[in-house]
Structure 1
């Protein structure tokens, strides 16, 4: 099934077996891609040489820093992907954990690991901003 076919489905068919299979495949592919990115970044870090020129040292360290940040970001994504696959397994995928309302196919295509509808996500972000200000 393509994204276009998914989006063309009736709202009455929300989170039917075909849609759940589409998102299962999407999340599994994202897991594979994430693992591959982590491994490639690790290989690249290991292959970086420490040059003798101080200007080159700074460039290599900056590249190393970006690669490490990418690995950390990808490692934080992996549990989110697993949790989303778990929600597919328990039939809660696509439904807001706060309100129980449909998250929506377009939002799930953009962020398949999300567990909140837009309104609930905004509420959580406002709470987070408020708590950081305290």
Structure 2
């Protein structure tokens, strides 16, 4: 199934077997890509040499720092991907955790790991901003 076919489906087909299978494949592919990126970044870190020139040391350290940040970001993503796959198995994928309303295909295509509809996400972000200010 393509993205266009998915979006062309009737509203009554929301989160039926075909749509769930589509998102499961997308999320599985994201998981494989993320794991591969983690391994590539780790290999890149291991292959970095310690240069003798002090000017090159800063550049190597900057690259190492960037690679570590990439690994950390991807490691935070993996559990979210697993949770999304779990929601597919439970039959709750595509439905807002707060309101129970449909999240929407367009939103899920942009971010298949999302747990909230737009309104609930905005509410959560507002709460987070308020808590950071306090």
Same fold (TM over 0.5): yes
Distance 1:56 1:9 in 2: 55
Distance 1:4 1:107 in 2: 14
Matched, 1:108 2:108: yes
CA-based RMSD: 0.5
User: Can you give the 5+ residue segments of structure 2 that lack an aligned partner in the other structure?
Assistant: none
User: Can you give the 5+ residue segments of structure 1 that lack an aligned partner in the other structure?
Assistant: none
**TM-score with structure 2 length normalisation?**
0.99
Q: Which residue of 1 aligns with 2:7?
A: 7
1:12 CA drift (Å): 1.2
Return structure 1 stretches of 4+ with deviation > 6 angstroms: none
- The aligned length equals 134
1:52 CA drift (Å): 1.1
Distance 1:17 1:65 in 2: 43
